[in-house]
A and B are shown apart, each in its own frame.
Chain A
């Protein structure tokens, strides 16, 4: 069985500050890991993905995430927050189930950016 835990349902930062959104996973096999972003009244969009090629993954809009196997973590960071980064962020893991790669999502973290 696989699971994803996102620490903090809400994270609040000032514009220009570091963004850190935490994600820990459990998986019985080497996982494929994803971060998605959801803007109001929209579906989820891919930010970045880890597929074992490199532990530090760069995504769109200046975000990056580091895969740490020893800590079973895949935290999302951005050096400097913009107002436009305010959104809901979801971490997801894809593991196998009967030959199908079923995704499991965390409960999401709402990023609030203050001027």
Chain B
């Protein structure tokens, strides 16, 4: 059982380049999330998708776009990368059944380490 799979694991970009981070889950979860983790800042929510077909902004959405391609896949796109977007990016999912009742934990991928020069 793979859980949450993120690709790539590492990436180096130049300022201004674009890139899409991929995330897929095989647990039939309804909700999916993208976070960034920076030293001393914990996890900050970029975007989330409460269910297939919906996406919403989180705490730090500027400079990012997302696509909920289907129930399994949720991608994060950087249209024009900036050095401030150097970070570790985590995808997470939760919520089996008809609706997420809030008491279910999130399952995380192993992260994508992104450096922007």
Q: State the Cβ distance, B5 to closest chain A Cβ, in Å.
A: 11
User: Is there a chain A Cβ closer than 8 Å to B110's Cβ?
Assistant: yes
Residue of chain A at shortest CB distance from B106: A103
Interface flags for B24-51 (1: CB within 8 Å of A; 0: not) read 0000000101000000111101001010
B43 and A100 contact, CB distance less than 8 A: no
The size bracket of the interface on A is: 20 to 34
Q: Are A43 and B102 in contact (CB under 8 A)?
A: no
Q: Which residue of A lies closest to B113 (CB)?
A: A41
Check if A43 sits within 8 Å of B105, measured CB to CB.
no
Residue in A42, A49, A98, A99 whose CB lies within 8 Å of B110: A42
The docked-state distance in angstroms from the alpha carbon of A94 to that of B41 is 18
A51 to B109, CA, bound (A): 24
The reply to whether the CB of A46 lies closer than 8 angstroms to some CB of chain B is yes
Apart from A32-B102, A42-B111, A102-B45, what 15 extra A-B contacts exist at CB < 8 Å?
A36-B105, A43-B4, A43-B90, A43-B109, A43-B111, A46-B106, A49-B103, A49-B105, A94-B102, A100-B100, A102-B58, A103-B45, A107-B40, A107-B41, A107-B42
